[in-house]
Amino acid sequence: MDALIHPSILSADFANLAAELERVADADMVHVDVMDAHFVPNLTLGLPVVERLVAVSPRPLDVHLMVTDADRWAPQYAELGAASVTIHAEASQAPIRTARELRRLGVRAGLALRPATPVEPFLPLLAEIDMLLVMTVEPGFGGQSFLDSMLPKIRTARQAIREQDLDVWIQVDGGVSEETVARAAEAGANVMVAGSAVYGASDAGAEIARLRKLAGAHLH
Ligand code: DX5
Ligand code: ZN
């Protein structure tokens, strides 16, 4: 299993998004944080902007929906061309139905857990999804510190994925850096979202390569 690096454009210059996407052309996918000022206390962008990002991005888009009523919105992001769409368990009334709808539309289906949401109730749903997003900060803002207290949740999920013989990605999002990425990988995460670490680097491509190498060395 290779480590995948998904830079988050939350830390990009929102006035120059096309150029900012080019800076991370070496990424595996680009992580797009959709926030509605309701599920989280921040507001970013929505359908019309993501549609334009799909059109100009050199890499596929991994859309992280931090919105209430996720079941209503998720399929619309699939239809406009995202490669992966992740809903929050806390914002979904019917995560299995929505995941099946996303897969029917030909995109990867992701399920995200806030730090205070336990993973155990969702272990029986793993076969329905392509990616579990374990938030390693409270969602809403970039530049927060990685929560090491989430490492056991990652380990529990990876063990269940192995026991069920599934090919489900585990993504970590929040505070991922050269200092923390090895611990996330060692616990079982294989998809690393990094906002401030990548966009704060003078050479974003070199930072992606460093994170990929560090994570890859600790995956097992
Ligand atoms: C936070 C977002 C993250 C954010 C991570 O709610 O979901 O994707 O961009 O930023 P860093 O990597 O700076 O913690
Ligand atoms: Zn995110």
Active site residue 165: no
Closest atom of ligand 1 to CA, residue 198: 12
Which one-letter amino acid corresponds to residue 215?
A
33 catalytic per annotation: yes
- Which residues, 6 or more positions from 67, have their beta carbon under 8 angstroms from its beta carbon? 34, 35, 36, 38, 39, 73, 91
Q: Supply the pLDDT for residue 1.
A: 77
Whole-number pLDDT of residue 177: 98
**pLDDT value at position 2?**
86
Which pLDDT belongs to residue 47?
98
**pLDDT at residue 135, rounded to an integer:** 99
Q: For the chain, which ranges sit under pLDDT 70?
A: none
Determine the 3-state secondary structure of 16 from DSSP.
coil
Give this prediction's pTM.
0.98
* 97-139: pLDDT as tens digits: 999 999 999 999 999 999 999 999 999 999 999 999 999 999 9
Ligand 1, pocket-test mutation among 38, 193, 198, 199, most atoms within 8 A of CB = 193
| pLDDT of the residue at 185 | 98
